[in-house]
Structure 1
């Protein structure tokens, strides 16, 4: 329940109950609120009046005025105010930056996506993120004063205070360059989260794990990293390190935390060098490019090209070992491959499924490709910011307005 009663005395508990109901109710009447909250009619009406006075709820034209009522006394109808503010979801990846501005319910107002130089200093990266956030707000016709909550996803473990531990090569400090401090004061709630954890939030909310209580969302593009949900709870750890991919550097047959994109590159190079794949074949000729396009290999595999199937089959064996470790550690029912690579990864998944049961003693998890594409972290960040707005920022806004009144 919203904590609106915290500073206003226990008499406001009914206000919090009605506000919680309003978030998912759409348009509703006092009778609807009573039925959902078990409040008496007079208490529900008092709570509704309080929230209307605070401009958190708006009263709609009654059913007769709307042309939908013919006889008797028309019911008063309510809905959340259309202008409570906005939330920001930021996907601050190693080489990309995506900023989404959305309302607290369901509408996206602006999206900005751009590449980012992985060699930028922490200070430069921090400045770029703040600048893009400002640009996205302007594109949505909003300002900093409208922000209710911000959630940023970064490619690093993040503790409960939004800080990342030191990395031997400085990678985590660069990908999370003090963002909690940098964004302090921009919104009532600022959260910095691991990107794979946010991918897990998105998959549970609108993706392949909807309705599932035990799953791993595996970001598998450039590096492996897992967001782990067990018994309906997103796991975190003391330093935010649950699902961190460095463990795969110690797994025989995997040997690195590199994701499927660089692994596919290495598998193809090795296959051409060993003679398993003819350098003049459609797949072999891809090696001549500066960077092998994984989609080209995967599309050839989907079309039945024997060389492409050989390479994707070898990569599938690697993925099966990765998923086997996750299955043995967490016992999920699903492992979902997330990120832009997911849209064409089915040939690798088919090969992995064939050998996955050999990798663990427990029943093998179902291996799925995400349908959320490259936006999966952004979707999770927006969902997390919306939850923060619902549970903290809007109740705080109501308290402030009521206190002034």
Structure 2
């Protein structure tokens, strides 16, 4: 079992960790409500709650509506019991956000006065810089570094599951087989998860709609590169080894204009990504250094840019249509910097609704993400919180605490 992925472990229903899970999921949870929900005796529930209070993870605040008699005290997660880091590593940017255990943002490298973090060709150097940035942000926010609980890092590359190793990353080929969790372990014993950035966007979008077992969603990140995150029955679907959703390396009817590490001739990434469109436009004499320039040119109505965006959108839509017919999701969410391009989004939508079966298209929503700037980083924060507060992890922490008491 990977100790950095205890959220995927089985846990005992009614354990203290399970009780914390229930408290996190509800705005109105008391001891009596927990007893009714779990079927545990009230005395057992009180023992579980007291153990969580002793750990500093739960506190009582306010009261529930009365059912007759004395009002029950409401239980809530103690957000200030620690903090986590969400990290978004892109082809041309790095963003670090610190949040408390309730998900409230405490510090953001995009807005707080800290040094910018660059992405080195050496993953070890980048990890050292990220760890320094986390500590610098913590100091800016006045946080105790000993209360750091864990982190999740989004990478635009296939991520081996559950090890977290980076595999054939087009954005930094030198990172192939990089063990980022192992590199972070030199700095902290706290769990550090590494996840494909599109998976984190899928997690964020699911949460925005309300996390239920009925969520079926594809999140397509279109930036310098292309990625896809899959949410099936409310859970991230990574596949056996973590490669699920790698649509970027499907062969398409186009011509590669940028290199890709996958080895597939004319893959979608090398033909229709933001980086590929920018390269096409540069070859035509336009000033397009990257994806954001492509979006700007399209917004200004530059004819060559509009043609390139519509062509790329058609190829992306055609590639997605077969997947959407197979998976039958409720939503296809377009994210990344290129999701701000109306011509690109319109072309993808048109292809999907033309190529998908009527039964599939009937309930399908195709839209741009609600907030492309925060989707990946908020998804990373959610993943980190789900890990550090996983029932199995909390139960293990309580066992360790009890052992420490017995041996003291």
Q: Indicate whether the TM-score tops 0.5.
A: yes
Q: CA separation in 2, counterparts of 1:132 and 1:85? A: 17
For the residue of structure 2 that corresponds to 1:36, the secondary structure is helix
| Offset, 1:211 | 7.7
- Partner residue in 1 for 2:370: 371
- Partner residue in 1 for 2:153: 152
- Partner residue in 2 for 1:222: 224
| Offset, 1:386 | 0.8
**CA deviation digits over 1:174-214, x for unaligned, max 9?**
27743111112624422111111112111211269988633
Is residue 2:348 matched to residue 1:352?
Answer: yes
More deviation in 224-233 or 197-206? Answer: 224-233
Asked whether the equivalents of residues 281 and 288 of structure 2 are also in contact (C-alpha less than 8 Å), the reply is no
Q: Which runs of 5+ in 1 are unaligned?
A: 274-286
Asked whether the equivalents of residues 92 and 175 of structure 1 are also in contact (C-alpha less than 8 Å), the reply is no
Q: How many residues align?
A: 376
| Offset, 1:77 | 4.5
Asked whether the equivalents of residues 94 and 118 of structure 2 are also in contact (C-alpha less than 8 Å), the reply is no
- Partner residue in 2 for 1:239: 241
For residues 117-266 of structure 1, what are the structure 2 equivalents within 5 Å?
117=118, 120-159=121-160, 160-165=162-167, 171-174=172-175, 177-184=178-185, 186-206=188-208, 213-248=215-250, 250-253=251-254, 255-256=266-267, 257-258=269-270, 260-266=273-279
- Partner residue in 2 for 1:278: none
More deviation in 39-48 or 261-270? Answer: 261-270
For the residue of structure 2 that corresponds to 1:105, the secondary structure is coil
For the residue of structure 1 that corresponds to 2:158, the secondary structure is coil
**CA deviation digits over 1:104-135, x for unaligned, max 9?**
11311111147655553333222222221222
- Partner residue in 1 for 2:381: 382
What is the root-mean-square deviation of aligned Cα atoms in Å? 3.8
For the residue of structure 1 that corresponds to 2:109, the secondary structure is strand
More deviation in 392-401 or 33-42? Answer: 392-401
**CA deviation digits over 1:42-77, x for unaligned, max 9?**
3323333333344333344779xxxx99x9756445
- Partner residue in 1 for 2:258: none
| Offset, 1:82 | 4.3
Q: Which runs of 5+ in 2 are unaligned?
A: 1-5, 256-265
- Partner residue in 1 for 2:296: 296
Q: Say if 1:236 and 1:74 are closer, same or farther in 2 by CA, change over 3 A.
A: closer
- Partner residue in 2 for 1:98: 95
For the residue of structure 2 that corresponds to 1:293, the secondary structure is helix
| Offset, 1:148 | 1.9
TM-score by length of 1: 0.78
Is residue 2:70 matched to residue 1:86?
Answer: no
| Offset, 1:17 | 4.1
For the residue of structure 1 that corresponds to 2:87, the secondary structure is strand
More deviation in 91-100 or 210-219? Answer: 210-219
Q: CA separation in 2, counterparts of 1:220 and 1:252? A: 18
For the residue of structure 2 that corresponds to 1:89, the secondary structure is strand
Q: Say if 1:298 and 1:210 are closer, same or farther in 2 by CA, change over 3 A.
A: farther
| Offset, 1:337 | 1.1
Q: CA separation in 1, counterparts of 2:209 and 2:341? A: 17
| Offset, 1:247 | 2.2
